[in-house]
Amino acid sequence: MLELVIFSTLNGVLYGMLLFLLASGLTLIFSMMGVLNFAHASFYMLGAYFGFQLSQWLDFWVALFVAPVCVGLVGAAVERWGLRTVHKWGHVPELLFTFGLAFVVEELVQMVWGKLPVDYRVPALLDFHAFELFGTTYPAFRMFMLLISVAIFLVLLMILTRSRIGLIIQAALTHPNMVAMLGHNVPKVFMMVFGFGSGLAGLAGVIAGPALVTQPSMAHVLGPILFVVVVFGGLGSLPGAFIASLLIGLIQTFAIAINYSLGDALSAIGMARPMQGVLSDLWQVTVAQVGPVVPYLMLVLILIFRPTGLMGTREN
């Protein structure tokens, strides 16, 4: 049991940190530009594929630095020639633009790299077991992922709280109009933030690609969860996104470890298990089965009771 708890915690934190890498960029974009970027997970996928391609041609360590930059440039280009054109029509068309973009990116990736998973491997340098506990090993690459995500989180924190550009971004998170009034080139800031956010997503892709499978559906699977993280944490709140990422990572991992159903709970308190009726299936379902659904339930509940999210200060 103890090893299950330890490994679940490790995996949960790792998954949470990965989510945060993606969510931090998304929440920046969302808060500043008001764009719910449906294509954000597509940038994550692009990162994984760029990383794969570059590590085929050159080396994983080159890919680690170059691929996120490439994705960031793609992101900036999308903002400059796509979103900015749509911006004048309002927020809904912007969102729909990213919706369509996610579609197109997935198709293009399928065309270029095929529909099957690609053989994106852990670099030889990190292809060993970091430690062994109760007979279960933990791969070094996962520790590396964890380190990278924590490092990025710290750097992000430093930039946002200690640097001038960070102050502008922070100001723009809460008072976007005021920042524009003060003479900052808001479109340029937008482009940079969008590029930076996409680059972060790309980085997440580069490091997640070898650990998880790099395939065309990887964006689609992760997309909706990101919105849950951002909205649950509170719009425009990086600490909120951080807490939400970890919370959802841990909940998802621990839910899997629990094998009890509602029916078991009823039996435990001495009640009969309902066997008939439309909802009878509900009593049979174990916590492990509904694990992946829990984040959506959390999203709906928090929005009903606290529309600003966990740590957010504004709704729109």
Tokens at 3, concatenated: 């090893």
Q: Is 221 among the residues that bind other proteins (CB under 8 A)?
A: yes
Instruction: Find the shortest distance in angstroms from Cβ 59 to other proteins.
Output: 18
Tokens 């997503």 belong to residue: 201
227 binds other proteins (CB under 8 A): yes
**Cβ distance to other proteins smaller for residue 159 or 250:** 250
Smallest distance from the beta carbon of 265 to other proteins, in angstroms? Answer: 16
Count the site residues for other proteins by CB under 8 A. 84
C-alpha pair distances (Å), 65 with each of 59, 123, 203, 212: 10, 14, 8, 19
User: Does 282 sit near other proteins (CB under 8 A)?
Assistant: yes
Binding flag, residue 128, other proteins (CB under 8 A): no
Measured from the CB atom, is 69 or 294 closer to other proteins? Answer: 294
- Which tokens belong to 295? 């984040």
Residue 90 CB, nearest approach to other proteins (Å) = 8
The reply on whether position 143 binds other proteins by CB under 8 A is no
Element (H, E) at 129: strand 129-133
Q: Which stretch binds other proteins (CB under 8 A): 52-60, 63-71, 190-198, 228-236?
A: 228-236
Instruction: State which of residues 112, 150, 151, 265 lies at the interface with other proteins (CB under 8 A).
Output: 112
Q: What is the DSSP string of 163-215?
A: SHHHHHHHHHHH-HHHHHHTT--HHHHHHHHHHHHHHHHHHHHHHHHHHS---
Four-CA torsion 104, 106, 108, 111, nearest 10 degrees: -140
Q: Does position 290 bind other proteins by CB under 8 A?
A: yes
Contacting other proteins (CB under 8 A), which of 155, 182, 300, 313? 300
Where does this chain touch other proteins (CB under 8 A) — which range of 49-57, 66-74, 172-180, 250-258?
250-258
Instruction: Please report, as a single letter, which amino acid is at residue 201.
Output: A
> 45 to 84, contacts with other proteins by CB under 8 A?
82
Report which DSSP code applies to 10: H
Q: Which is nearer to other proteins, 69 or 290 (CB)?
A: 290
H or E element that contains 259: none
Q: Does 234 sit near other proteins (CB under 8 A)?
A: no
Q: Does 257 bind other proteins (CB under 8 A)?
A: yes
Our finding on whether 274 is near other proteins (CB under 8 A) is: no
3-state helix, strand, coil in the chain (%, to 5): 75, 5, 20
Tally of CA atoms within 13 A in the half-sphere of 240 that contains its CB: 24
**For 135, phi and psi rounded to 5 degrees?**
85, -10
What is the C-alpha to C-alpha distance for residues 112 and 164, in angstroms, rounded to an integer? 41
Q: Does 42 bind other proteins (CB under 8 A)?
A: no
Query: In this structure, what token pair is assigned to residue 60?
Result: 């994983």
From 183, 269, 270, 281, residue interacting with other proteins (rule: CB under 8 A):
281
**Residue 82-111 contact track with other proteins, rule CB under 8 A, x = bound:** x--xx--x--xx-xxx-xxx-xx-xxx--x
Could you tell me how many residues make up the chain? 316
Asked if 187 interacts with other proteins (CB under 8 A), we say no
